[in-house]
Structure 1
Amino acid sequence: MMKHVLSIAGTDPSGGAGAAADCKTFCAHGCFALNVITAVVSQNTQGVRGYMDITPDLIASQIDAVFEDIDVDAVKIGMVSVPETIRVIADKLKQYQPPYIVIDPVMVATSGHRLLVPEAEQTLKEVLLPMADVLTPNLPEAEVLTGKSIESLHDMEEAAKAIAAMGAKAVLVKGGHRIADATDILFDGHDFHYYKGKRLESTSTHGTGCSLSSAIASNLANGLSLPDAVGAAKEYVFEGIAHAEPIGKGHGPIHHFYELYKKAGWTK
């Protein structure tokens, strides 16, 4: 039976990140895509121009509309920019208890535009982070969460442990910002798992974090173990970057449907 995966995130009219990337990723993994919008974001491949938060009541209504009608097998949470948004999502997820919750702590866009107001950082850590089956911070986000600089793989391990101590069941510290390589480290609460990756010289990196966390949520919903879900998600994003089409004038999106296009004979 097809699994149902819910994105709770902001929009992206250029289609490369946010709810658009989440839903494309769910579909690419054979899941039915559901989405709740937390903010309407004006952005494209060149950056974020502005955004407007959806009211807490409307966010709650959207979540109710989904869960009262459809069984949800996993939830991926992305942009939650203000404390009120964080609290209403946490309250609703406590009410409905989905099997898996994957949180991508979106704080700053690739372009440098801040997407989480400073006063929401503590709310995120105290209210939402402890609900995560998996939290997927990149290096800058992990530094904000821990208050410590991360320079080495050992630092990444220590950051993962520190964030897990805040309540997350598992933490994937993403190494895409590392100069030497693109190694990610998963701490599952007991053991560390290393995911070594080759660095691709590409400008098609818009929405990679959204897509990775959504792929993990899809893989968990489809029955993969956490280590395997992360490994398969990393490979999915790598192939998406490697085979991306040139879209936009800035950092374009990955190719979310590369494997499907290949099977259909539509790739070069």
Structure 2
Amino acid sequence: MTEEFPALYVVPTPLGHLGDISQRAIDVLRQVPWVAAEDTRHSAPLLRHYGCNARLLAAHQHNEEGAAQQVIGHLAAGESVALVVDAGTPAVSDPGARLVSRVRAAGYRVIPLPGPCAAVVALSAAGLSEAHFLFYGFLPAKAGQRAEVLRGLANLPYALVFYEAPHRLVDTVAALAAVFQPTRTLVLARELTKLFETVHSCALGDAHDWLLADANRQRGEFVLLVSAAPAVDNDADGERVLKLLLTDGLSVSQASRLAHAITGAGKHALYQQALRLKG
């Protein structure tokens, strides 16, 4: 695909099932002269399966800057390039973002193709009712850093989506249970689209024992989804704090303003409540 206006094509590849690729993605892979791959050894047989004869260049997290310059060089020569990772969509908890940024900065087109993404596939089967979700990706491997991140996420009103490797799974689930309420729902989506695909939902406090009950449940690549933090009744807290402040002798305006700052309850509603309590 040597063109007057060459482009970098961001091409999602299957998570596991080889049928989960679009015809457009196959057409692009067959037509471009170059494919930038996270792992050329992994991608080579996949590309052969789809009849792609492009030459491969490595583009992984340790060489992404250098790979970007190679890609820009091919684009400057009029040769389009496809960017792929081992599975799923490039630059989503995978290499690719810096490469895409450098290509854009060099003035070349970046054309994204829709396709497989483990987070979205897991969400579709999780059955969580939240209207919004936050995709975090991989948590830090070190326990202290992981706990600090989780504390920052604990009270967010969104479903939380994480990726995790099998050798860290049990520790990560234990960390989730230690920081979050044990009654929150945890969905473990394992080996999505593959032979041993499993989607299991349980209370977060029960997940550790469920995993330990069968070693096979700890194998494979995981998406972990946690339901949103329970809503806090700010109004009830606000009224309680307001009564204490008024009892201590603060004026209506002072008490309502301070109760709002402490609890987050509505300032106007607190002011009206303070007037009623004073009356």
Structure 1 length normalisation: TM-score? 0.27
Asked which structure has the greater CA Rg, the reply is 2
Q: Which has the higher relative contact order, 1 or 2, with Cα contacts under 8 A spaced 6 or more apart? A: 1
